Structure 1
Amino acid sequence: MLGVEGKLITEIDPKDINQFWEKSYDSGVPSEIEIPEIPLYELLDGTAEKFPDKIAIDFLGKKLRYGELKELSDRVAGFLKSLGVGRGSRVVIDMPNTPHYVIAYYGILKTGATVVQANPLYTERELRHIAENSEARIFFAVENAFPKVYELKKEGIIDRVIVCKIEDYLPFPLNFLYRLKKEKVNVPNDDGIAFWTDVVKSDPISSPEKVDPKEDIAVFQYTGGTTGLPKAAMLTHYNLVANTYQIIHWLPEFSEKDVVSGILPYFHVYGMTTSMNMPIAVGAKIVMLPDPRDIKRILNAIEKHGITLFFGVPTLFNAINTHPDTPKKNLRSIRACISGSAPLPLEVKREFERITGGKLVEGYGLSETSPVTHVNPIYGTNKEGSIGIPIPNTYALVIDEEGKVLPVGEIGELAIYGPQVMKGYYKMEEETRKTLVSGWLLTGDMAKMDEDGYFYIVDRKKDVIIAGGYNIYPREVEEVLYEHPAVLEAAVVGVPDKYRGETVKAFIVLRPEHRDKVTEKDIEQFCRQKLAAYKVPRIIEFVDELPKSAVGKVLRRVLRDQEVKKMEQS
């Protein structure tokens, strides 16, 4: 049916593949689109020229227009250029969703530098790895993350920190009330520290740096690796522009009249593309909220602003479905939603569609693909348990261990080809060679395809745990556990969780001298000092031994299967 079954993936020209899944596309969605070869920052500049007075962002009542966004990003770029930032430089954004993030993001890009994404929940240890690996010397950091970042400054790992305060973009009287309530953060008098309010007074850049969209890296998106340390997927300007327009075309009615949720964290590639770059590209209004867990505020925002497009993860949709305030709110403005990062339970989809009257469909993507590769049609056939069909300009195959293309219905590794596929991993040539084969990305996910071209993820070749939409890598958690003096052996797996999709469970063998002296609480507190909260094991079990293969490799799969079986029997 594909026309290439049995061939080695290294021998395949994507143009020879029969894209028979395109028959399932919604009306008006093309299988191939023209992708402009432009710098990513032109998404903002082009819209600012077209709609300078249109509201771009509403952040808790503070409104910023497209013309203002462009001017502020030019000023950030001017400030960075004065420090010598340019092509080849890397700058970290360690922020939740606030206007600072968007302005800094496009400002960094206008210098020709690379944006390095960081989760503001990261510990000092995690931030140190990102700074050292990326060789970034400048951080934009939200105020409450400053103490962790300042440690890197004192150690000489980075040179400068720009402190961003939430109240910088809160309207009166919220800004005043927030200052009264917030925890005091001591920012010392240091030449290497600047405040956002001073940065945006800088002279604007005269013109953005020219970049090669297909070669120059716009974003370092950190993802897990076999070593347990996150690795940077290098996403070019072209990769991210391509994925932006691919999703725009998947939503044929999408326009500047839409109101888009800015709730998914922008430091996550899914939120960055769907909830920031995409609405900015067309001039839609973004309703931005800094905390995706604040369901009451989200419900109020949907009703107040008439949000039409909503991007989220299954736990967010489920939280809306089950919140006690939901029946009191009018959520009928919602037209279309895409769920990603974890499997979408059918009952969650049905209930959300009943409440809102909108369409909620499941999609699939990876940090390495900017991220979206597959989505179910918005108005067409949605298949239970399916991640959908490849989006425009995207090819997908299922291959065996030898790299041969498998026919419909057979299970193998999912391979993807398209303009959104990353350039490679930074400073990890061997990992890049294993993952990118003749332009095809080997996802590490085991999948199958049906007779209509819909794909299904049946297992994960990698042991990544997806909890609440966050990717958690067992090896990284295990390495922290091994740092505890009482731990002899440790294994971490994801176990089913009704709310988070999966949750983190640690199996620990204690050293004989520490047995009966160390508690689960001790281990949890130790992990909280070294890991972001969402990575900390929620369940800890002390065991006498771990299941191992003949060569001594811990069999995580056995542990996971045992947990699933116990849950089924309970």
Structure 2
Amino acid sequence: MNRTAHERFWPRGLPRTLHFPRTSLWYNLEVAATRYPDKAAIVFYDTVIRYAQLRERVDRLAAFLQQRCGVRRGDRVALFSQNCPQYIVAYYAILRADAAVVPVNAMSTAGEFDYYLADSGASVGVVARDLFASARAAVDEGRLRHAVVLEYADALEAPTDMQVPNWVSARSAPVEHPAVTAWADALGAGLAPAPHLAGPDDLCVLPYTSGTTGHPKGCIHTHYTMTCSLVGSAFWRGLSSESVALGVAPMFHLLGMQNGMNLPICLGGTVAMLPRWDPAAAATLIERYGVSVWTAPPAMLVDFFAQPDIGSRDLSSLAVLTGGGAAMPESVATMLHDRFGLAYLEGYGMTETASFLHGNPPHRPKRQCLGMPTFEVDSRIVDPETLEELPQGETGELITSAPQVMLGYWNNPQANEQAFIERDGKRFLRTGDLACLDEDGYFFMRDRLKRMINASGYKVWPAEVENLMYGHPDIHEVCVIGVRDARRGETVKAFVVPKPPARGTLTAEAIETWCRTMMSAYKVPRIVEFIDALPKSATGKVSWRELQEREAAGKES
């Protein structure tokens, strides 16, 4: 296989290799604040936080974490919030305190939150007031020995004519608990942090991604692995300190964390952010603050450009539109090009690779394509059983070796043994994705080796959902698969065999309502089909693949 074919189409003027900085992510903020103290670092609706202000707030919270919460170098600190300026302050304060961030999905239930704490060993957290109910048991029972609680409304420091959701502008009663400190009180303590000691090889962030067993696994990312992804992305996309990024993807997810927060701060640029996806507000931010780069999954862009008045909005500043997680529909890509002169530059990355890994060259992109390996990235296609490299055009498992690949899974040697292989003196990550390589060296996704559903960029593992659904008193058997969805890319479907007494009376609506109390919203089956029996193999195993294939055939017929 000619793995270097793509070099014929390498972006002109870019080197084949990069010298990656050996510094911490917090150092990026220190440099930006020193260079551009009065420049806008964050725009939240019409509130502007400048780099000098951001650094000061980070220092104060870092000091509080160190001196009042006992956070030490290498500790893990949970961060449980929707997007807001305080999220960025907390993230960098944890790094400033030489600790590592454990980003918790804002849709997590109390049980899921407890799992993140137990597995990561985090005993201190920063929690948004609206999510505190899911953390309360951990605080009451001492698993979270100290929590700093933030209120979104505190970030609305300037008047705005934009429509701010009530859940953002509303204020709640403060939490009265000896282990809880209000955000304002933590920063108001006026403490000064100890010297920053963390370096490139220290643990930086421990994001969780689910595995085939349904148990989330922590991905060990150092400051260096995160930095390699950021710097590679900036060079590949031609970004600079004057870039303004739209930060609307969730920052607890690597897509939003890296592209909507860490990348603009690394460059000394600006992030215009929203707490949740709001297409009308996103259009206003683009117009008002000159957003120039936006990384988003296709579902978000489909929603954005479907607004009735989008043709009358001034989107002229938007120059770089990137993303991944699902293929961009051909009709939407054509509309973007014909009506707005925008090319959607699809890429490929995973939580395990700190997001950016492959990219389409800006001057010669291909549609519905994973792009090509970028700086220092060696990706190959192998037979998933023999691990022998396959010739060009054949479908196999994509494996990759790159400086941004995680060190491994946290406290999970068995998963590491399954995830990594050695080849030609390099350590390769088995991605579990089935892909093929074309004659130009571009990679195309074909299927998933692992049984995983990608719903709007969120990974959903059927085994986990099934295990929870078996707790329903009226469900006898259940099998969960992914089905195509125009908006989410994929959505969750459950085939349910009710227990005899519930047959004819159990409804899909009742199951969905029950599921919403047991699992994060993105995991809840949006489609429920009742059947008399699940197909099974000769050994008695449920033939989920048969249901998947039957569903796909039905969609095509």
The 1:72/1:363 distance shift into structure 2, 3 A limit, reads same
1:470 to 443, 446, 458: 458
Q: Does 1:386 align with 2:386?
A: no
Deviation per CA, 1:123-143: give whole Å up to 9, x if none: 112111111111111221111
Equivalent position of 1:190 in the other structure: 177
Deviation per CA, 1:385-437: give whole Å up to 9, x if none: 31100111111001112121112111111001000000111111100111022
SS in 2 for 1:502: strand
**Residues 444 and 462 in structure 1, CA contact (< 8 A), matched pair in contact too:** yes
Equivalent position of 2:484 in the other structure: 496
The 1:201/1:186 distance shift into structure 2, 3 A limit, reads closer
Q: Does 1:119 align with 2:102?
A: no
Equivalent position of 1:419 in the other structure: 403
Q: State the identity as a percent.
A: 35
Deviation at 1:225, TM superposition (A): 1.0
- Return the alpha-carbon distance in structure 1 between the equivalents of residues 515 and 16 of structure 2: 47
Q: Which residues in structure 2 correspond to 1:309-458 (within 5 Å)?
A: 309-379=293-363, 381-400=364-383, 401-438=385-422, 439-458=427-446
Deviation at 1:203, TM superposition (A): 3.6
Deviation per CA, 1:52-79: give whole Å up to 9, x if none: 1111111111111111111111111100
Deviation at 1:475, TM superposition (A): 1.3
Equivalent position of 1:250 in the other structure: 236
Match of 2:122, as an amino acid?
A
The 1:106/1:172 distance shift into structure 2, 3 A limit, reads closer
**Residues 115 and 219 in structure 1, CA contact (< 8 A), matched pair in contact too:** yes
Equivalent position of 2:43 in the other structure: 58
Match of 1:382, as an amino acid?
P
SS in 2 for 1:200: helix
**Residues 475 and 498 in structure 2, CA contact (< 8 A), matched pair in contact too:** yes
Deviation at 1:358, TM superposition (A): 2.8
TM-score for the superposition, normalised by structure 1 = 0.93
SS in 1 for 2:82: coil
Higher mean displacement: 507-516 or 223-232 = 507-516
Deviation at 1:510, TM superposition (A): 1.5
- Return the alpha-carbon distance in structure 1 between the equivalents of residues 72 and 387 of structure 2: 40
Equivalent position of 1:68 in the other structure: 53
SS in 1 for 2:555: helix
**Residues 153 and 169 in structure 2, CA contact (< 8 A), matched pair in contact too:** no
**Residues 5 and 439 in structure 2, CA contact (< 8 A), matched pair in contact too:** no
The 1:76/1:323 distance shift into structure 2, 3 A limit, reads same
Q: Which residues in structure 2 correspond to 1:529-568 (within 5 Å)?
A: 529-568=517-556
Deviation at 1:182, TM superposition (A): 5.7
- Return the alpha-carbon distance in structure 2 between the equivalents of residues 160 and 35 of structure 1: 36
Deviation at 1:93, TM superposition (A): 0.8
TM-score for the superposition, normalised by structure 2 = 0.95
Equivalent position of 2:258 in the other structure: 273
Unaligned segments of structure 2, at least 5 residues: none
- Return the alpha-carbon distance in structure 1 between the equivalents of residues 476 and 166 of structure 2: 46
SS in 1 for 2:357: strand
- Return the alpha-carbon distance in structure 1 between the equivalents of residues 160 and 182 of structure 2: 20
- Deviating beyond 6 angstroms after TM superposition, the runs of 4 or more aligned structure 1 residues are 175-181
Match of 1:303, as an amino acid?
E
Higher mean displacement: 387-396 or 136-145 = 136-145
- Return the alpha-carbon distance in structure 1 between the equivalents of residues 463 and 91 of structure 2: 30
- Return the alpha-carbon distance in structure 1 between the equivalents of residues 225 and 167 of structure 2: 43
Q: Which residues in structure 2 correspond to 1:60-139 (within 5 Å)?
A: 60-82=45-67, 83-139=69-125
- Return the alpha-carbon distance in structure 2 between the equivalents of residues 476 and 183 of structure 1: 34
**Residues 156 and 169 in structure 2, CA contact (< 8 A), matched pair in contact too:** no
2:248 to 257, 260, 263: 263
Equivalent position of 2:154 in the other structure: 168
- Return the alpha-carbon distance in structure 2 between the equivalents of residues 390 and 204 of structure 1: 45
Deviation at 1:114, TM superposition (A): 1.1
Deviation at 1:328, TM superposition (A): 2.0
Higher mean displacement: 196-205 or 255-264 = 196-205
Equivalent position of 2:292 in the other structure: 308
Match of 1:195, as an amino acid?
A
**Residues 46 and 159 in structure 2, CA contact (< 8 A), matched pair in contact too:** no
Higher mean displacement: 303-312 or 544-553 = 544-553
Aligned length: 550
Deviation at 1:507, TM superposition (A): 0.6
Equivalent position of 1:508 in the other structure: 496
Q: Does 1:159 align with 2:142?
A: no
Equivalent position of 1:7 in the other structure: none
Match of 1:211, as an amino acid?
A
2:213 to 227, 240, 259: 227
The 1:369/1:177 distance shift into structure 2, 3 A limit, reads closer
SS in 2 for 1:433: helix
